[in-house]
Amino acid sequence: MASSFEPNIVAFVCNWCTYTGADLAGTSRISMAPNVRIIRLPCTGRIDTLFILKALERGADGIIVSGCHPADCHYTAGNYHARRRFAIFRDLMEFVGIDPHRVTFSWVSASEGGKWAEVVDRTTERVRRLGPFRTYPRLARGAGE
Amino acid sequence: MRLGYFPGCSLHGTAREYEESLKAVAAALHIELEEIRDWACCGATSAHATSRTLGVALPARTLMQAEKQNLDRIFAPCAACYNRLASAQHALAHDATMASQIRSILDYSPKTSVSIINIAQLLSAQAGEIQKNSKAPLNGLKIACYYGCLLVRPPEVCKFDDPEAPNSLDHIVSATGAAPVAWDMALECCGGGFSLSRTASVVRLSRAILKSARSAGAHALAVACPMCHSNLDFRQQAINKRNRDGEAMPILFLSQLVGLSLGLDPIQLGLHRHFVSPQPLLDRIGMGKLQPERREQV
Amino acid sequence: MSRIGVFICHCGENIGRTVDCVRVAHNLENVPGVVHSIDYKYMCSDPGQALIKQAIRELQLDGVVVGACSPHMHEKTFRKAAAAAGLNPYLCEMANLREHCSWIHEDRERATDKAIGLARFMVEKIKYNRPLATIRIPVERRALVIGGGIAGIQAALDIADGGREVILVEKEPSIGGHMSQLSETFPTLDCSQCILTPRMVEVAQHPNIQLLAYSEVESVEGYIGNFQVKIRRKARSVDEIKCNGCGECQKNCPNQKIPGEFDRGLGMRTAIYVPFPQAVPNIPVIDRAKCAFYRGKAKGVKKAVCGKCAEVCGPKAIDFDQQDSFVTEEVGAIVVATGYQLYSIGKAQESETLRGYGEYGYGAIPDVIDGLQFERLASASGPTGGKILRPSDGKEPKTIVFLQCIGSRDRAKGIEYCSKICCMYVAKHAILYHHKVDHGRAIVFYLDIRAGGKGYDEFVRRAIEESHALYLRGRVSRLFRNGDTICVHGVDTLSGEPVAIDADMVVLATAMRAQPDIASLAQKLSISYDRHGFLNEAHPKLRPVETNTAGVYLAGACQSPRDIPDSVAMASAAAAKVLGLFSNELLEREPLIARVDQLACTGCFHCERVCPYGAIERKQLKDGKGRVIKIVAEVNQGVCQGCGTCQATCPSKSVELEGFTDEQVYAAVNAL
Amino acid sequence: MQELRDLARRLLRENQVNVILGYECARRGVRPAFITEAADCDRLVFDHRCVHNLAAYLSPRRTHVRALGRPAVVIKACDARAVAGLIRESQIEREETVLIGVRCGGVVLDPADSSPLSSGNIAPRCSACDQREPALFDHLVGEPKGAPAGEASRDARLSEIEAMNPEERLGLWIGLLGRCTRCHACRQICPMCFCERCIADKTQPAWIETSPHSRGNFAWHLTRALHLAGRCVDCGECERACPARIPLGLLSRKAARSVASRYGYVVTDDPAIPTPIGSFQFDDGQEFIA
Amino acid sequence: MNIRRMIGKTDLDVLIRDLISAGKRVIAPVRCGDSQHEALEYAPVRSPAEIHWAGPLPLRSLKEIIFPPTETLFGWKQVKSSVEIEANPNGFRETVIIGARPCDAAAFEIVDRVMGWDYRDDLWFGRRQATTILTVACPHGDESCFCPAVGLSPESARGADWFLTPADGGFEAAILTQKGEALLEPYKAQWPEPNNFSKQQLSGLESKVRANLKVQPESIRQWLEKHFDDPLWKHVALRCHGCGACAFVCPACHCFDIVDEPEGIDRGRRRRNWDACQPALFTLHGSGHNPRKDQAARFRQRIMHKFNYYPARFGEVLCTGCGRCVRVCAAGMDLIAILAEIGRRSEEAGAAS
């Protein structure tokens, strides 16, 4: 079952490093799992934890959040603020039982096409092993009825 | 002022005059020296050269003793002792593995808050007092302050003075009324621990120091370390046998100089115990004759 | 209900090979809001773009999604096309079906499914796109240059020659900076003064340059294109208008024995003085700490103790009562060229992380000097008229030992970085010494030779081979006085031997350090600096002369240790940036910036805390009667760069980043 | 007590303030009081039943309280942290508010509970509290108090949950948050929840579903905990106000534990110290980032 | 109808087990988990052993059994430009409430009036129909109870299908409705009738809680009618935090909100959720204007609705005196004190005229 299951993964990435890194992976024809769909944002600083929750509500089995390495941020500090935001959110997520292995945080620079492919493949594999995350979207079911 | 007192081996032996003078000066300055009970060797000689752990454990044990005596400040007159104690404390504070090792050895964890001070720190803090109470200011005396290798180094351990161009001793000497001379060898090695094993080296090194002091016009050398003292004082015989550089240069402990300026009796200060007689020095400042010495003079 | 057009590009075979573009187009057709969905071989081609324009016109599309390559590739292309057809360019988005899909997958089925998903994201997002208008901010086309060293001078001249006004602020009485103190310059050995002085004069005479020497920047308000700068004009005690620079005052000043800063204490100056003969402006200043008149007044003496200068001054320019004054200037751009200071070798250090070099007895041993002092000795205009003579006895040194890396590349001394110029100027010193003192023996202690640069390594070779400088790889532990020579104790690490050299003079090649007061200036400009105090560029590779405050640029050694050619190049680069900014009356900016919903804003100002650009301002919200209801955040359009960190941080999401609003992202996520 | 009343009376008489936010005895235990007449100051009390965090009434959101004019507020050490938060986040002006600090030896959880303070009825936050008086105040009143009794480790439950496996944790929270009916008492009583329009009330887009099912409740309580990370003053009011008795403190204290362990940040009543969200260190931990 | 039975503890357990095994939902007061104080809540039980007959009033009222905090009305799916509706199968599960408190049971009848007034709420009545209520004489009252003041009592059988009064070792049950009789049917024969038909004498509770509040609902209403704008409102509302706790625990409050909840771009559910009149959002217009601009106005609405508008339209107050709003309020808002004050003012006014 687990092997036949194809996880649905969404990636929130910054425009300047990871998105460009993913472009590079493309121009370098580095093949990777087709399970990940990218949503482009200007900076990890813009990536809200609400995106992650909503994605889970909409049935995402896994999530990737990726941006510029420390000190590389196009906006100088967005990724530092994001790092703190996600560190704490991740602790909370884990605390309420949302397996943090479903969410990958990574720094992928514009020159790391290869690393992006790795992040995509490793996340896909990990989430595939964890199986579908139906529990979360279904939390709304049965309420009251 | 109450101070924990760590004499170490030499102040009870080869450097008796250091202890004598210290006690005299301390009394004059109303400083209470309380010897640490059951203190152990500081590890300066062979211990730290052979085993770092032992080199830390020994002084750490002494620190423990001091704490049990609830002394918050320890005075170690011997530069080597001071250096070992301070280094050990530094290790305990900054080297976690070493600290835990020591804890298990002593099964006690010495707190690193106890402050360890050497004679330079002690007396420069008292400089004002010294000046105030000086009954016989040593005007006209030119003194080369010799710091040696252990008093102000390594910098991360001994933070109180510039490791390359120190001036704490000069500060104290000025307080006695004597004039510290500007010279370059204040930090050079005297031969230190090789006193017995490689006499030749000691002679070479100590000679350079004495020459430099002489050429700077010093009448005497002020030291803060029994080891330096024995090298520079005792070895002058040998040095001058080989090559006649000039008049023998009296080597005084800092405490003795201070003692003199406070008008204490030279004998009480142990000045008669030196190999190189400080008599010329005393004459220069118009002090009485020392008792005829047992040992023949250089 | 939206009217969205979807255009799927095959990119020849690039996308078509692994993505079934026809299926993608068909699938998107059935998405609510999509009224038109087609595929085509090359969307970016003219006929391709024509298809889009045509559809926009004929079907009155209110949104266009192009499924093709990366937006980094063609977003501009397609937005232009949309605009040409009368659609707001920001209502056109791209789905990346090539780099992010066809090029990285083999399985045609799944690649196609993913392509549909990616296009779907954009279709849903674009339903919430708003038509946006480019932001235009008026630009005050005058520049401020801070610092009148070579970098500042170059930047000022370039901008001025570009036809724009420049205000050049220099804190010293004269411009010229460190370069004016140098004798010759490496690697060409042309005389520093000879190449610098004409530039200084040019500055003074340039119709577009307003020179404010002996002045400092007091405060900076505003943002790119619109800075208000308050400048303090320190009191010279001399009327700049009246003074004709005749120099009588100096000749007659009774206090002639003040160690001169310009000669690094090797020469003397008077209490009223011009720092050096070629000074620009050539107007003296009174050193009030040293001047008898002021000291007398300080002591409370009623009648003037001295007034010689005033007596002899023809134009009556001396003004003992002069006070600091302030001027405020409106500028559109600021170039920071505040240069550097030298490592202070002595024991006294302003920061306790720095150790100093007690072991070299600088200050105690008269013939131990630093590199800049050597420059003064070697300089024809220097205290010795260009002869190399010992400060102690004026004798000619037969042996000089040069020590490199003083205050650099040494953690124990508190500085890790390489000062970059020292290797070169030591080589220069060796050569100059060889020229001026034949049979003079130059010995250099070095760690490594860093001679990257045009003609640089050749220059060092020349010092070694033609000027016979002896280069020893190693450090010096200590300097000893040895009679009237200096005994240098070091080690030659190549031979592994300790060496002791008797030298007549020792020259310490001290490192460049950041200016001591950089922090306060950086705060005024809200730009950042590294832990050594060097100012930070916006991006180490791609934006080396910009800062993270738009409209503020860097030139010269204030950013990192630099030699003259580097500083000049950087200055010209900064000038080019400024002129570029000034090329239009209005500054155009992408409208993808943050906007505050002031009704919902609570004014907690988390946004202010996270904004990397200080773009958040505080605004009072008033009711009809003018009473303050609350204080809310407002985004300065000129400053915001559009990172969106404010929005993600805002607890109530009361600030929106145009182009990436919550509704747009939400819609995309909904399409999962 | 008299000291407090006299001070309040003076403040009102001298028109230093228009209203005293304090505590009074009522039919059913102690409750917040809003005293505008010097004559009524004798109603003021402070004892171990004064559990309410009155700083909540300072937020601009309380238009009806603001309308009374310049306030003086009675604050315990824990409440002072909230006041500091309001100042830090520009909600109130330090000069505009008179702070009457009270020495506190712990309070009971239920203000209607008049039995003496014991480890049985003490508010959980107090058992772990070592602050007997605020550092932020204009006036400080009351006798010095001793430390309250209470169980040693208050966060035992927290560690217990951390020790569970993900499934157990998820199950636990589905059960707990399933009880939430979104009355938003937790938010309304929270001194640090002062948003003009809460993200939970934002409908375009509706990031947080308004329906009280576990999915909406997860989004709500997770987001709230995140927003309070490094801001929550741990006054326990949310938990006290929750009609469903959901141990909400666990979430905010987890967040607090996270910022403490990661950034060494602890909420204090010093308004000058910036919050951990909104500041950063270049070398902040990133062990979780690939 | 006047059927009475003596039911031994064990007999009752048998009944409950039978109901559970018959797949019915059995709701009863049980210990409420994860609370540091002894507290009860109405919840489904799996065995009679879980039931707590004594102890304080359950935290939340029975309301949620008939009127869940959130329920789906229907789902939708968008296809091209049309919309498909998928009706939600609101199966009304057979439910028996055991050990209902009089103040909770009575609330259903009161709310029935508004639910069946101009528009008949099928979800409400559907569940009402499927639910049988066994009320028990109130075992526990405190300083916040005031049922007598609103015309009820700890022994009120209003809204009950059975009314249980503790009697030696078990209960004396009065079967009051067909629904009740149907429930009794299988056991009617083996359970004895109580030997004495004498009316149980009132426990002390009635008089105890009566002392908490002595007002006439009608005199309250009269005052309210004349005092829409009265300084009292601003005064009492000061401490109110504006949360919905009081309304959500109230057995009689029944306001709800209807939301469309997307579950994707083209699909979602329409739900109805509890709502309350104290939060500002309740009356906030899209324009940003709010007719109830401050907490005073909102709190007034709560009182007016319960004690003026509702009786005016339906002849009785929208309150059963359970006192939950008093107990639950973290700000110490006290309905009893407020009603007492209003009563006092009304008296004065009456005396004056």
DSSP chain D: -HHHHHHHHHHHHTTS-SEEEEEEEETTEEEEEEE-SGGGGGGEE-STT----GGGGGSTT-HHHHTT-SEEEEE-HHHHHHHHHHHHTTSS-GGG-EEEEE--S--BSSTT--SPP-TTTB-HHHHT---SS-SS-SEEES---PPPP--S-TTHHHHHHHHS-HHHHHHHHHHHHHT-----HHHHH-TT---SS-GGG--TT-SS--S-SHHHHHHHHHHHHHHHTTT-----HHHHH-TT---THHHHHHHHHHHHHHH-----S-TTSPPSBTB--TT---TTB-
SS3 A107: strand
Q: Do C334 and C526 meet the contact criterion of CB atoms below 8 Å apart?
A: no
CA–CA distance, E257 with E281 (Å, rounded to integer): 11
E108 vs D: CB within 8 A: no
Q: Do B151 and B120 meet the contact criterion of CB atoms below 8 Å apart?
A: yes
Q: How confident is the model at residue C350 (pLDDT cuts 50, 70, 90)?
A: low
Q: Which of C33-47, C291-305, C632-646, E79-93 has the lowest mean pLDDT?
A: E79-93
The DSSP element (H or E) to which E298 belongs, if any, is helix E295-304
Q: Is the dihedral of CA C379, C385, C386, C391 positive or negative?
A: negative
Contacts of B105 (CB under 8 A, 6+ apart): B53, B57, B60
Q: Answer whether residue B36 shows pLDDT above 70.
A: yes
CA–CA distance, C3 with C61 (Å, rounded to integer): 5
User: Residue E83 pairs with which residues in a beta bridge?
Assistant: E78
Mark yes or no for CB contact C105/A39 under 8 Å. Answer: no
Q: Do D212 and D166 meet the contact criterion of CB atoms below 8 Å apart?
A: no
Q: Do D13 and D35 meet the contact criterion of CB atoms below 8 Å apart?
A: no
Cβ count near D161 (within 10 Å) = 19
Q: Give the closest of D209, D241, D245 to E59, CB-based.
A: D245
pLDDT for the residue numbered C347: 65
pLDDT for the residue numbered B47: 83
What is the share, in percent, of chain E residues with pLDDT greater than 70? 95
Largest pairwise CA distance in chain B: 58
Q: What is the mean pLDDT of residues C275-284?
A: 94
User: Residue C543 pairs with which residues in a beta bridge?
Assistant: C539
SS3 C303: coil
CA angle D177, D183, D185 (to 5 degrees): 95
Q: Answer whether residue B184 shows pLDDT above 90.
A: no
Q: Answer whether residue D149 shows pLDDT above 80.
A: no
E328 vs D: CB within 8 A: yes
Between chain C and chain E, the number of residue pairs with CB atoms below 8 A apart is 17
Interface of D with C in 70-99 (CB under 8 A): 89-91
CA–CA distance, C512 with C558 (Å, rounded to integer): 10
CA–CA distance, D34 with C56 (Å, rounded to integer): 64
pLDDT for the residue numbered A145: 41
Substitution target from E71, E146, E239, E246 for chain D, most D beta carbons within 10 A: E239
CA–CA distance, C563 with C518 (Å, rounded to integer): 20
Min distance A4 CA to chain C CA atoms (Å): 14
Q: Using CB atoms within 10 A of its CB, is residue B158 exposed (0-12), middle (13-18) or buried (19+)?
A: buried
* Two tokens, residue B261: 């300026």
Mean pLDDT of chain E: 91
C71 vs A: CB within 8 A: yes
Q: How confident is the model at residue C395 (pLDDT cuts 50, 70, 90)?
A: very high
Substitution target from A8, A46, A119 for chain C, most C beta carbons within 10 A: A46
pLDDT (tens digit per residue) in E284-342:
998 889 999 999 999 999 999 999 999 999 999 999 999 999 999 999 999 999 999 99
Mean pLDDT of chain B: 89
* Two tokens, residue C220: 């900076």
CA–CA distance, C269 with B135 (Å, rounded to integer): 47
Q: How confident is the model at residue A2 (pLDDT cuts 50, 70, 90)?
A: very low
User: Residue B142 pairs with which residues in a beta bridge?
Assistant: B179
Q: Do C229 and C166 meet the contact criterion of CB atoms below 8 Å apart?
A: no
pLDDT for the residue numbered A143: 44
β-strand pairing of C258-259 with C268-269: antiparallel
pLDDT for the residue numbered D111: 93
Instruction: Report the C-alpha dihedral over residues C238, C240, C241, C247, rounded to 10 degrees.
Output: 70
Give first-to-last CA distance, chain C, whole Å.
21
Q: What is the DSSP letter of C254?
A: S
Q: Do C and A make contact, counting contact as 3+ CB pairs within 8 angstroms?
A: yes
Say which residue the tokens 């045009």 belong to: C454
E260 vs C: CB within 8 A: no
pLDDT for the residue numbered B44: 86
Q: Answer whether residue D92 shows pLDDT above 60.
A: yes
pLDDT (tens digit per residue) in C461-477:
999 999 999 999 999 99
Q: How confident is the model at residue B164 (pLDDT cuts 50, 70, 90)?
A: confident
Q: Answer whether residue A92 shows pLDDT above 90.
A: yes
Mark yes or no for CB contact E265/C30 under 8 Å. Answer: no
- Cα C130 from chain centroid? 37
φ, ψ dihedrals at C365, nearest 5°: -95, 110
Q: Answer whether residue B296 shows pLDDT above 50.
A: no
CA–CA distance, B277 with B249 (Å, rounded to integer): 9
CA–CA distance, C488 with E170 (Å, rounded to integer): 109
pLDDT for the residue numbered E353: 64
* Two tokens, residue C36: 């038109």
CA angle D275, D281, D285 (to 5 degrees): 105
Q: Which of B257-266, C22-31, C232-241, E34-43 has the lowest mean pLDDT?
A: E34-43
Whole-prediction pTM: 0.72
Min distance C78 CA to chain E CA atoms (Å): 26
Say which residue the tokens 């030749």 belong to: B200
Q: How confident is the model at residue A142 (pLDDT cuts 50, 70, 90)?
A: low
The DSSP element (H or E) to which B128 belongs, if any, is helix B119-133
pLDDT for the residue numbered D153: 61
Q: Which amino acid is present at A118?
A: E
Higher-confidence residue: C123 or C481?
C123
pLDDT (tens digit per residue) in A22-63:
999 999 999 999 999 999 999 999 999 999 999 999 999 999
Say which residue the tokens 């109603």 belong to: D43
Closest CA to C388 of C456, C439, C325, C455: C439
CA–CA distance, C156 with D225 (Å, rounded to integer): 54
Asked whether the ipTM of the predicted complex exceeds the cut of 0.85, the reply is no
Q: Using CB atoms within 10 A of its CB, is residue C539 exposed (0-12), middle (13-18) or buried (19+)?
A: middle
Mean pLDDT of chain D: 93
Closest CA to A126 of A98, A107, A103, A92: A103
Q: Which of C419-433, C511-525, E200-214 has the lowest mean pLDDT?
A: E200-214
Mean pLDDT of chain C: 94
pLDDT (tens digit per residue) in D193-235:
999 999 999 998 999 999 999 999 999 999 999 999 999 999 9
Q: Using CB atoms within 10 A of its CB, is residue C649 exposed (0-12), middle (13-18) or buried (19+)?
A: buried
Cβ count near B245 (within 10 Å) = 15
Q: What is the DSSP letter of E187?
A: G
Q: How confident is the model at residue B292 (pLDDT cuts 50, 70, 90)?
A: low
pLDDT for the residue numbered E307: 97
CA–CA distance, E56 with D170 (Å, rounded to integer): 31
Q: Give the closest of A25, A60, A78 to C643, CB-based.
A: A78
C631 vs D: CB within 8 A: yes
Mark yes or no for CB contact C481/B184 under 8 Å. Answer: yes
Q: Give the closest of C602, C606, C663 to D205, CB-based.
A: C663
Q: Which chains touch E (3 or more CB pairs under 8 A)?
A: A, C, D
Q: Give the closest of E237, E276, E332 to D32, CB-based.
A: E332
Question: Closest-CA residue in chain A for D167?
Answer: A97
Q: Which chains touch A (3 or more CB pairs under 8 A)?
A: C, D, E
Q: What is the mean pLDDT of residues E132-157?
A: 94
CA–CA distance, B147 with C104 (Å, rounded to integer): 72
Distance of CA C453 to CAs C173, C456, C561, Å? Answer: 33, 5, 14
What is the share, in percent, of chain D residues with pLDDT greater than 90? 80
Largest pairwise CA distance in chain D: 66
Mark yes or no for CB contact C670/E78 under 8 Å. Answer: no
Q: Do D200 and D187 meet the contact criterion of CB atoms below 8 Å apart?
A: yes
